[in-house]
Structure 1
């Protein structure tokens, strides 16, 4: 069996009075992420990691921010299309390990809902999606609450 590992990293600026989409759910907060799509940083890193693991380039290649059809798009649609592309190449997801870096709001209470949502979109088990959250101890742009960052590592395998 052929297995492959992929890694994703993304950041988005935080702005007041925008909805804050994270892991496919809207998280209550005074600020939201700024981006061409709904700026769901967690979904974006998962897409990047999956595409990279299968040697299918990156999220910007498949869903460019210069294309008006992706303006304001729900990132769950991007994730569903990423899964279609991945499966068309003969791969399936083994597991995902991700970390969100954010000072506020606290993410931990929302993790089970994120796991449920992502698992449903991806057609995998909730137990296959690890989501962790951390602060940067008030250091850098995350610490100053100017932005949010996320990382993801994925393991995929080729279906026989």
Structure 2
């Protein structure tokens, strides 16, 4: 069996007038993330980690923010396509470990739903999807609630 690891990172600015999508679910919050797609930083970090692990470049290469077909797209579609892309090289997901950095809203109550959603999209067992939430103790752009960031590390496998 061959295994590889990948690391992904994403950040988007918080703004008024946008829905907040994280981990494939919509959260009830007064601010949303600005981006070409739905700006789901968690999914974008996971996509980058998966693509990096498979040595397939990054999310911007496969789904550019200048393309009409990715304008306002649901990031779950990008994640499903990413899983399909790594499968073309014979890889499947071993596990995902991700951290979302946000002062608000509080994310811990939403983590189980995010895990269910993402495991369904990636067609992997829910136990293979770890999501954690943290703050930056009011430091930096995240602490000032100007944006949200996410980190993801993945293990992919092929026989």
TM-score (norm 2): 0.99
User: Are residues 1:114 and 2:114 paired?
Assistant: yes
In structure 1, the partner of 2:149 is 149
SS in structure 1 of the partner of residue 96 of structure 2: strand
SS in structure 2 of the partner of residue 141 of structure 1: helix
Q: Which runs of 5+ in 1 are unaligned?
A: none
Q: Distance in 1 between matches of 2:28 and 2:141?
A: 20
* Number of aligned residue pairs: 159
In structure 1, the partner of 2:9 is 9
Runs of 4+ in 1 over 6 A off after TM superposition: none
The aligned runs of 1:57-76 (5 Å cut-off) are 57-76=57-76
Q: Distance in 2 between matches of 1:6 and 1:81?
A: 17
In structure 2, the partner of 1:31 is 31
The aligned runs of 1:72-151 (5 Å cut-off) are 72-151=72-151
Q: Distance in 2 between matches of 1:65 and 1:16?
A: 20
Q: What whole-Å deviation, never above 9, does each CA across 1:1-22 have from its counterpart, x for those lacking one?
A: 1110000001000001310000
Q: Which runs of 5+ in 2 are unaligned?
A: none
In structure 1, the partner of 2:48 is 48
